[in-house]
Structure 1
Amino acid sequence: MHALALLHRWIGAIGGLLLAVLGLTGALLVWRDELTFVAHAGDPVRADPAALAKVVGQLSNASRPIDRITFAGDGLGVHQVLFRDGGGAYLSQAGETVARWSTSWQRPELWLFDLHHRLLIGDTGETITGVAGLVGLFFVVTGVLLWWRTRRRFRLRLWPATMKSGAIVHQHRDLGVVAAPLLIVSLVTGVLMVFPTLGGSLLAEARPRPLKLEGYHAAPAARELAPLFEAAAAIFPGAEFRRLQWPRNAGAPIVLRLRQPFEWTPNGRTFVYADPATLAILGRADPAEGSTVASIREKLYPIHAAKAGGVLWKLAMSVSGVALALLGSLAVYAFWQTRWKIRSAKRSKLKDRSQAAAQNIAPIRR
């Protein structure tokens, strides 16, 4: 048990701050829509295909190439437009531009998401966050085991009684064991999104390949997309329009993403693929026809990001994030505070010995 405690402390001292960053950013991102401060953010959603097609048509005539549009939905009443040059804009449902940016650093909700998901360094950062999640699970399991020895002294505190290492350790253990169930849920779902193979052969099931148009050469997207929206509404009646993705490469279709009532993912997993030149429907992907495995994987993100379960689950995931931030940051502080005190004590003892030795040396007389 001593070796386990030593391993727990040293790994925590090194990786605790990273987990604290992930916990704090995760707690904030739970309320991302509420923290997106733009005009018309609270407008009720008008699910009108003709109105959406009109807004898209206006954007298609703009000089800046568009990457995708995420339509207004529950929680955020404005459309989000991302351009190919890295900039973006928020539009009201009437098509009025209410905010624009040339880089994601100008919008806190965007760079916070990138920090939480990829640590601002792309795919490498995503892998690092997945590893950090595994380390966090190790802390939860070993922390509960180490807490069991001191369970009779349990006293829940949000903050240590003092900032001395002993008080921090007691607060750390007691808070950790209380938050353990929520931490396990948030960490497991996060890890499985990054490393689905860890869920076994079922969760690692290969994803469907993107539809490819053989022999197709890129052509300008049609300006009037109302027929596409109408066709998609006929295929999936009652589905909510969530995102429109412009072709990124030659031979790629326009992708219209929808969300059916039974789906948990906020942007849905329902897809309609169309020819960019003619808007002819080329294919579709219907989660209702998918496997049980696909249904399970679809729920990982909504659970992790509290996009399902209402306000109570948002609060629960917020508590999980704040707890992780406190556990990680205070663990690092307590560990290195103790190490600094030990080193200071050793230096002070050596200094005292040197002074004592100097005083005991008798002066040399000639």
Structure 2
Amino acid sequence: MRVIDLLHRWLGGTIGLLLAVLGVSGALLVHKDIWVGVPGARDAQVQDTAALAAAAERIMSGPDRPRSIVFASKSFGLDRLSYEGQRGAYADQAGEIVTRWNSQWERPEIWLFDLHHHLFYGDTGEMVAGVAGLVGLGFVVTGLILWWPLRRSYEFRLWPRAASRFPILRHHRDWGVVLAPVLALSLVTGSIMVFRPVANLMLGPGAAAEVDASLEPPPPRKAKLADDLDWAGMIATARRLHPDAEVRILSLPRGKSGLVSLRLRQPQEWLPNGRTTLWFAADTGELVHARDALKLPPRAQAYNALYPLHAAKVGGLPYRLVMTLSGLTLGLFGTLTVWTFWFARKPRQRREPRPA
């Protein structure tokens, strides 16, 4: 038990602030669609096939063609356009540009997303965040183990009784037990999305390989992107195959794939941008391959549900508030843990030698 206690305290004092940053940034991102202040952000979603086709034609036929369009959702009424580098723009649902940016630092919602997912350091930062998530999950487990012998002294308090070390530690212990399931859900879902092999532990042996195979795009084609593709025809094809699905993301070919992709979200899918995908030849616009997310293997569908659970994209406002509480609690615990571990300790008094 003493070893567990030492590991819990020392690791908490070491990476507590990192977990606090991930928790608070995640809590803010849960409500991103509400606080992004751009004209048209509160517009109602338009999913009429003709309107979508007209907007896509207008955006993609312009002189500055974006790499992708994320169409407006039910909670955010603007299309987001991504260009090379960090450039981007918001457009209304008629295809008219509302605002542009040349760097992520010009848009708080974008750099906050980069902070939460990559710690401003690309793939390396994402790995560090994933390790922090696994360590945080270890805190939940070891915290429950350390709490069990002291369970009779449990006291429910939203805030520490006093701003001193022992009241803070007691609040940390007792409040952590209450939120342990939610904290564990946040940390597990985040870690699996970073480290695919962790899916083998949660979804069973071989799950990671099954997920990778299910999400693998079709083989690349030797096709150069045409200047006058029938974007409206692609959207019409998608609607013909999936009449009830939302049109979510239109993307130009990545690398040398030679394929334009169109992602849809069917009503049964939790993932906000869906995984139902159509691929079209970049030179002719003909349909090359279609993937129905509802026909993927069960474990692949379970994997697709992790992000909606992590980012509170399901469950409405009540679940968003629960995940907000989880993130803020992680921020509070991480900050106070570092403070109590490094700064709130009382110096030990030296004992005076007894006279002979």
TM-score bracket, shorter-length normalisation: over 0.9
SS of alignment partner, residue 184 of structure 2: helix
1:328 aligns with 2:331: no
The superposition leaves residues 262-316 of structure 1 with CA deviations (integer Å, 9 ceiling, x where unpaired) of 1000000010101122110011111122111111111100111110111111111
Of 239, 253, 261, which residue of structure 2 is paired with 1:233? 239
Where has structure 1 moved over 3 Å in runs of 4 or more? none
The superposition leaves residues 82-107 of structure 1 with CA deviations (integer Å, 9 ceiling, x where unpaired) of 11132111111122222211111111
User: Residue 170 of structure 2 corresponds to which residue in structure 1?
Assistant: 170
Q: Distance in 2 between matches of 1:250 and 1:197?
A: 28
Contact 1:246 1:255 in 2 (8 A): yes
Q: Distance in 2 between matches of 1:141 and 1:246?
A: 44
Of 304, 326, 336, which residue of structure 1 is paired with 2:310? 304
Contact 2:251 2:262 in 1 (8 A): yes
Contact 1:140 1:180 in 2 (8 A): yes
- The structure with the larger Rg is 1
Equivalence map 1:64-103=2 (5 Å): 64-103=64-103
The superposition leaves residues 176-212 of structure 1 with CA deviations (integer Å, 9 ceiling, x where unpaired) of 1111011111111111111221222242123343223
The superposition leaves residues 21-70 of structure 1 with CA deviations (integer Å, 9 ceiling, x where unpaired) of 11101111111111221111111111122222222222223333411110
1:319 aligns with 2:313: no
Of 220, 226, 240, which residue of structure 2 is paired with 1:220? 226
Equivalence map 1:7-46=2 (5 Å): 7-46=7-46
Letter in 2 for 1:174: D
User: Residue 105 of structure 2 corresponds to which residue in structure 1?
Assistant: 105
TM-score normalized by the length of structure 1: 0.90
SS of alignment partner, residue 56 of structure 2: helix
Contact 1:212 1:252 in 2 (8 A): no
Root-mean-square deviation (Å): 1.8
Of 282, 288, 293, which residue of structure 2 is paired with 1:282? 288
User: Residue 279 of structure 2 corresponds to which residue in structure 1?
Assistant: 273
Equivalence map 1:154-165=2 (5 Å): 154-165=154-165
Q: Distance in 1 between matches of 2:248 and 2:224?
A: 24
SS of alignment partner, residue 323 of structure 1: helix
How far did 1:156 drift?
A: 2.3
- For structure 1, the 5+ residue unaligned runs are 354-366
Number of aligned residue pairs:
346
How far did 1:141 drift?
A: 0.9
- The worse-fitting range, judged by mean Cα deviation, of 177-186 and 61-70 is 61-70
Letter in 2 for 1:320: S
TM-score normalized by the length of structure 2: 0.92
SS of alignment partner, residue 66 of structure 1: coil
Percent of pairs with identical residues: 43
Q: Distance in 2 between matches of 1:221 and 1:163?
A: 64
Letter in 1 for 2:218: L
Contact 1:130 1:194 in 2 (8 A): yes
Q: Distance in 2 between matches of 1:218 and 1:212?
A: 15
User: Residue 298 of structure 2 corresponds to which residue in structure 1?
Assistant: 292
Contact 2:86 2:104 in 1 (8 A): yes
Q: Distance in 2 between matches of 1:99 and 1:66?
A: 14
- The worse-fitting range, judged by mean Cα deviation, of 220-229 and 107-116 is 220-229
Contact 2:229 2:285 in 1 (8 A): no
Contact 1:202 1:293 in 2 (8 A): no
How far did 1:224 drift?
A: 4.0
Contact 2:126 2:194 in 1 (8 A): yes
How far did 1:221 drift?
A: 4.2
- For structure 2, the 5+ residue unaligned runs are none
